[in-house]
Structures are given as C-alpha cells and as structure tokens.
Amino acid sequence: MIFKEFYITDKNGKSNCVIRSLCKVLNKEYNDVYDGLCEVAKKLNCSSFNDIPVFEKYMEDNDIFKISCYNEIKVKDLKIDDFSYIVFCYDKKDFYHMISIIDNVIYDKNSDCMDLYVISIYRKM
C-alpha cells in the first residue's frame, strides 16, 4: 500500500477525519457529508456526528458496509483488494481516527495513520 496526502475542509478551514474519509470514498463535498451526518445524528438522538452509530448508519445509507473487525493489525500491514474502503483505527490509547483506502492507496492528511491499529473496515459496495 502507498500513502497519498488528502485534505479537505469546510468553508471555514475546519476538517474532521470522518467527513474527510467519507468525502474521498463517496466523491462528495465536505458540507454535503457534514449535513448528512448531522441529519442522521438528529434522527438517532446522538450528540455528535462522530458517534459510531451515526457514521455507521450514514455509511450504510451510502452502500458502505462493515466487512471486518481487527485487534492487532496496523493500517500499514493490511492486505485488501482493490476497492474503496473506510478504516476506523486507533493508537490503543485514546486517539481514534478514520481514513480512506482506494485501490490500495491510503488517503489521509499525513502518514502517521500507517502506524495506527485497525478496529473496523468498511467497504463501498
């Protein structure tokens, strides 16, 4: 797998990894994804669009489904097919992150994500 820098922001220059990842895989604008996540959060009565039930429902509504859960594998060690994926990962402490992988190219703001541990993988169908 190779890494390519990808960074997208809202009109005020703010960015969020959940929104960035979804923008890349769905080829949507930042504010469109943000608005969609906020709608789901409201419907589910969640406090944030970053809540797991919210982004998983949004992904499901956009034909992205959870395919795997992991425990001890790092992002850089993943072996996946050439499709579009969202990877939910963390540092085994309190930092959680989301990245997109398309055709074995990792898209994120910096390459630090390569050393994070995979929690779940979602695939765009």
Residue 36: the pLDDT is 97
AA letter at 82 = D
User: Could you say which residues of the chain have pLDDT below 50?
Assistant: none
Which residues have a Cβ under 8 Å from the Cβ of 96 and sit 6 or more positions away? 88, 89, 90, 119
For the whole prediction, is pTM greater than 0.95?
no
Residue 11: the pLDDT is 85
Residue 10: the pLDDT is 87
Residue 71: the pLDDT is 78
* Alpha-carbon dihedral 56, 19, 118, 69, rounded to 10 degrees: 10
Q: CB-side exposure of 85: number of CA atoms within 13 Å?
A: 23
Residue 68: the pLDDT is 86
Q: Which helix (H) or strand (E) holds 107?
A: strand 105-108
Q: Return the residue matching tokens 């072996």.
A: 79
Residue 108: the pLDDT is 96
Residue 17: the pLDDT is 96
